[in-house]
Structure 1
Amino acid sequence: ISDQNEYVIDIEQTKRDQLNKIKVRDLFRSKHSTIPKKFRGKAAYYLYIFHAIEYIFISLYIDWTVILRHPINFLKIITFLTISAVFLFIYGLIPSLREKEIKDIMKKWTIELSNQKIAAEDNNLRNEIKSGIIVLGQSEIDKNDDDDVRKLRKLKALLFLSSLVYVRNGQDISKIHDCVHEIKKNYKETSSLNKRKKILEHALDKLNEIIREANGDGERATEIGFEEVERLISIIINRNDEFIKNQVKNLELGDLEFTSVSELNTDDGGSFCGIFWSKEKNFIVVVFKGTTPSNIGEWMKNLMFQCVDARVHLLGQVHRGFYEYLFAESEADRDFP
């Protein structure tokens, strides 16, 4: 029995190692923006204005008589774009003027959410979530259970799981992206083995600094190479996943597990994809973290009322903001989910 348990543990560890490699590979495959993160909100605003003017110009170029044939509709479009541009300018100006206060508020909310004491101490909420988790894994419908009640319980559980992904510390992931971008950029500029070794040394120092800031203790590098970079990146990502795992543990939700899967097409620690699963209840839930409230650039993308052709992956068309975040574009100019 002991040998069987050790064999199962080895298999589970192998699977975790494989998943960690996939996560790291995902980071290196994604494109990284050349615009500094400090100026991305402003860049997104100017891009929004540019696209708005572009759409109006194309519409007039194709059929300028629309001004005469549909003057009211044309005036509505101009008015809407003007008002939205002014509103977004003011919206983007407030964070820059009150940056310190906003950061303090966000930090306070993050600490309160990560503790998860309120939900854990609320017995009614905990029982509702537990009953919803049970329903998620039911293959047979209980005749004594009302169908509407079952649906409501299931929706509450799904809503709770989707809210948990907002607790993860995106700042550490953003710093990982900076290290990955630096490695990729500097590696392309030199073929010298000594210089590449120094690049990896610098990256390892940065990754260790991230770990020290989060935990007060760094990881000693066993060697200088990509495998060591992968190991430290995996440690940071997995420790960030612990925020969510601890909440599940505090609520005593059985064997419910969580892991992040992909950072999607972001390099600022914003949107990402994760998976909740339960072997005992036999279900898997795929979750996506949406727009970060404080990320102006993401809001700008969401407000671009434009659809793109998504027939490669999905049927028909989808919103550009959704498509660009979900289906990243790799260095080989190949789309992948």
Structure 2
Amino acid sequence: MIQTIGHRAAGILRAAQKDLAYQITVAHWDFYRAFREWMSRITTVDAFFIGLFHGMDRILIPYHFDGNDLDEEPGSMPIFPGGVSEWVRDNLRTYRYAFDDGDVLNRSKRFGDLTRPSADVLVAPLVRAPSETLEVFGVASIQTYTPHAYTEEHVAAFEWLCSVVARLLTREEEDRRSAEGLGAYSMLLPDDVIAAVVRDLGLMRRRIDGILNRPVITDREYREALERLGAETARLQAETAELVLHAHRAAEDRFRTLTRREQEVALLVVKELSNAEIAAELRLSERTVKIHVGNILRKYTAKQRASVIAELRRYLD
């Protein structure tokens, strides 16, 4: 354990590690909420968010909190140039409000109660560590309205817990890819996302029907049922947003299975060039282009160019 983390905080972190390993198997919304709640046992957390990068210019926010975790809807947004998410990704380290009195933070999109600016902030990278190089795939942030609130212990504890969260998310992704390699299930694409949403909406509808069909229900029971449905709706939004992110990543992963030359050909296929036109553009023989196109179709398990074009336009154009 890091030396700056005291005995009490270390005990909380050990308990958090065990609980988070369970929560990620339940739902990501519960996982992120537990992350925030465990960190709030160590220091003040008035606001919190998780961001997951997709591509170089967008970030998905599946969970955020500012006094209430049901007020802000999950969603994708552009990465603000010079903002805090870009800073953390580029610098591979935690941003602290004390570095610049919040200058970088203030260039970013604000959320929650805009009348109360944060007075102390930590934004830490979520790092995937393959053998070749480190990859920042997301960020996590805790914020408070109290100035100078976050000590060195709080920074160390937050970074340690972020490393736990990053490992659990990475392991889950590795398990998914391993299952794909065995043919356990295919890469997640739009139809899969729609099917998952339809399934979850069906479950929610049955719960609503169960409430409406009760012969007698008190105001308190009705309110509690609505609160549970509100939480279920937030959970469904977060899970759906991440399904869309996985669909983007699946398409990116598939594109990366192509060789450099096949990628060049694929991007010209998207422009609906003929084999002869692609050959002229890349200074290849038409026969070589035909071989590359055949390889692309095989790797995309597609019989026609239209399927490849649709996927590339949606995710990689």
More strand by share: 2
Shared fold per TM-score greater than 0.5: no
More helix by share: 1
TM-score (norm 1): 0.27
Higher relative contact order (CA 8 A, sep 6+): 1
